Amino acid sequence: MKIKSPIRHFLSYYRPHWRLFVIDLVCALLIAAVDLLFPLLSRYAMTALLPAKLYETFFIIMGILVAAYLLKALFMYVVTYWGHTLGVRMEADMRRDLFSHMQTLSFRFFDKNRTGHLMSRVTTDLFDITELAHHGPEDLFISLVTIIGAFCVMLTINVKLALVLIVLVPVGILFTMLQRKRMMGASKRVKERTAGINAGIESSISGARVAKAFTNEAFEVEKFMENNERFKRSKGEFYSAMAVFTSGVDFFTSLFSVAVIAFGGYLIMRGEFDYVGLITFSLYVSAFLQPIRKLSTFMEQFSSGMAGFHRFRELLSERPEITDKPDAVTLKNVKGDIVFDDVSFSYNDKTKVLEHLNLKIDAGRTLALVGPSGGGKTTLCHLIPRFYETSGGRITIDGHDIKDVTLLSLRQNIGIVSQDVFLFAGTIKDNIRYGRIDATDEEIVEAAKRAEIHDMIMEMENGYDTQVGERGIRLSGGQKQRISNARIFLTNPPILILDEATSALDTVTEKRIQKAFEELAAGRTTIVIAHRLSTVKNADEIIVIGEEGVSERGTHEQLLSLGGEYAALYNSQFRE
């Protein structure tokens, strides 16, 4: 998406809710009109009605003022309720755009950004934007109307006295502009520190069990305190800037009142003004100063809101590393021929993970990848669905370069069971259904049976509606892995990637699951990553990947007869 200028981008979120926005501004205008009406009618009552002893008309005017303030109360309700509703709807739209955008970003983005920081962008930062979205235009509009209206009436009362205010106002405006930049910078630092605290808390809570296991609770508290101190300092900087701004605005507004009384008194001494006029003028000064004070509050909201909006835009401007080509085609009728043609990959420019890899996997065959950790086995599998982009060479499926097909169709044809099992907070049924969102309950039960988890689920109090807890904390490691396996049975893809899919299972269950996987793999291209070599003995081909790339390849029997690296790994496991 094209990123607009900050102000235009911010204003674009009003467009879907323009009717609500207009209602808010109209009510704000009427509130300002009522505030301007009071001094005008008061002056009329004091200069025309009371001296003429028109007491009945005087009380009628007072009744009109009471009715006007009742209407003002109604308008205030509309502004407060529907104005905040407008802000919340805009916040929801921004959160939708931000979350949707984050779904398009590649693995590499999430590798380098902490969860707590991203959560802060999606939640805390946007709250301040809501307050700005509601109060910003409304406060500016009311203030502008009130200031102009009050000044126009003051000109009719006494031109000289009104010009005194005109001289002083630019000084206050200049002070405001000078302080705005300082406040915004301080507010942005507060948000960065808040994100740091959120990230630390998220990490500490997720790792609470590890902290307790290593008796490092005090260390976690110390880490939190460091972040908390940085937050306190940045918050102090913001409040310092805000204090200078607020006290400065209060000084200038008080100076306006003193200047009016002083110069008005001087005019009375010269016989050019009267007491009623000065009282009325002072009432309008109050009406004139009220929006100025409101603007000082607005500046605080503007600093916090725009700091949050700039962080919002920073994240929104992150470009997905991996996208569809404009002419990308849909991958259809996949057989599963996979070819790595001179493929290289590195997570950074310094460390090569794969270099000039050439590999062919025929459709319907099972390839096993074995070797020491860190050799690039998982990375190799992550390149097929384009979770990462190759640094060189190309990968094809059925002759189609994976960069020439749509990501959606590519990934829909690949099923992955990872050793790093992740379950979403929700029910067991919801987590299995994640493999295919439109699956029926019957299909979910069948997938669970094939994953050897159905009987365990039925023994639970709520069966398939049992809550798994955050990241599946209420389930054992084996149960989580079997639920993850059930997803893949539900997906039923033409290409399977099994990355230590049975690593958390006991030997008996592993054999049953292995048998189910072998049935599922029949006629499909399957890539298996395993450290337990007993699980890959029946693979059509086994590849040993080490630090130097592919070191050995062949069947189980062929590699054993070679007496090389694979044979050494196999013998060491069975000696154990």
| 397 part of a folded domain | yes
What confidence tier does 501 reach under pLDDT thresholds 50, 70, 90? low
What confidence tier does 185 reach under pLDDT thresholds 50, 70, 90? low
Q: What is the pLDDT of residue 259?
A: 79
Percent of the chain with pLDDT over 70: 84
What confidence tier does 323 reach under pLDDT thresholds 50, 70, 90? confident
**Is 159:193 a contact under the CB 8 Å cutoff?**
no
| Environment class of 167 (CB within 10 Å of its CB; exposed 0-12, middle 13-18, buried 19+) | exposed
Tokens matching residue 213: 């296991």
CB proximity list for 500: less than 8 A, separation 6 or greater = 418, 419, 529, 530, 531
Residues 311 and 389 in one domain: no
Please report the sign of the dihedral spanned by the C-alpha atoms of residue 64, residue 70, residue 74, residue 79.
positive
Look up the domain containing 25 and give its range. Answer: 6-316
| 407 part of a folded domain | yes
CATH of the domain at 232: 1.20.1560.10
What confidence tier does 172 reach under pLDDT thresholds 50, 70, 90? low
Q: In what order do the strands lie in the sheet with 392-397?
A: 352-361, 338-346, 392-397, 400-401
What confidence tier does 396 reach under pLDDT thresholds 50, 70, 90? very high
Residues 292 and 351 in one domain: no
Q: What is the pLDDT of residues 70-103, one digit of tens each?
A: 998 898 888 888 888 888 888 888 888 888 888 8
Residues 165 and 297 in one domain: yes
Domain end among 316, 346, 364: 316
Q: Residue 1: pLDDT above 50?
A: no
Residues 247 and 379 in one domain: no
Q: What is the mean pLDDT of the chain?
A: 79
Closest by alpha carbon to 464, among 425, 511, 508, 431? 431
Q: Residue 215: pLDDT above 70?
A: no
| 501 part of a folded domain | yes
Query: What is the mean predicted confidence (pLDDT) over 116-136?
Result: 74
Where is pLDDT greater, at 525 or 371? 525
| 79 part of a folded domain | yes
Quote the CA–CA distance of 308 and 315 in Å, as a whole number.
Answer: 11
Residues 98 and 164 in one domain: yes
Tokens matching residue 245: 């701004």
Residues 311 and 361 in one domain: no
What single letter denotes the amino acid at residue 340? F
Query: What is the mean predicted confidence (pLDDT) over 138-167?
Result: 77
Domain end among 316, 347, 363: 316
Beta bridge partners, 542, equal: 368, 554
CATH of the domain at 550: 3.40.50.300
**Is 17:90 a contact under the CB 8 Å cutoff?**
yes
Quote the CA–CA distance of 114 and 204 in Å, as a whole number.
Answer: 13
Q: Residue 226: pLDDT above 70?
A: yes
Which residue matches tokens 């902290």? 211
Highest mean pLDDT: which range of 234-248, 454-468, 521-535: 454-468
Domain end among 316, 347, 369: 316
Number of domains, the chain:
2
Q: What is the pLDDT of residue 308?
A: 76
Q: What is the pLDDT of residue 523?
A: 79
Query: What is the mean predicted confidence (pLDDT) over 359-369?
Result: 88
Q: What is the pLDDT of residue 182?
A: 67
Q: Residue 199: pLDDT above 80?
A: no
Residues 50 and 178 in one domain: yes
> Which range (130-134, 337-341, 353-357, 464-468) has the least confidence?
130-134
**Is 311:318 a contact under the CB 8 Å cutoff?**
no
| 478 part of a folded domain | no
Q: Residue 222: pLDDT above 80?
A: no
Beta bridge partners, 340, equal: 359, 395
| 300 part of a folded domain | yes
| 365 part of a folded domain | yes
Residues 381 and 259 in one domain: no
Tokens matching residue 493: 């893809």
Q: What is the pLDDT of residue 469?
A: 74
Query: What is the mean predicted confidence (pLDDT) over 123-140?
Result: 76
Quote the CA–CA distance of 526 and 495 in Å, as a whole number.
Answer: 6
Closest by alpha carbon to 134, among 302, 1, 367, 246? 302
Residues 119 and 205 in one domain: yes
Q: In what order do the strands lie in the sheet with 366-370?
A: 414-417, 495-499, 525-529, 366-370, 541-546, 549-554
Q: What is the pLDDT of residue 165?
A: 74
| 321 part of a folded domain | no
Residues 212 and 349 in one domain: no
Residues 234 and 351 in one domain: no
Q: What is the pLDDT of residue 164?
A: 79
Residues 346 and 310 in one domain: no
Q: Residue 130: pLDDT above 80?
A: no
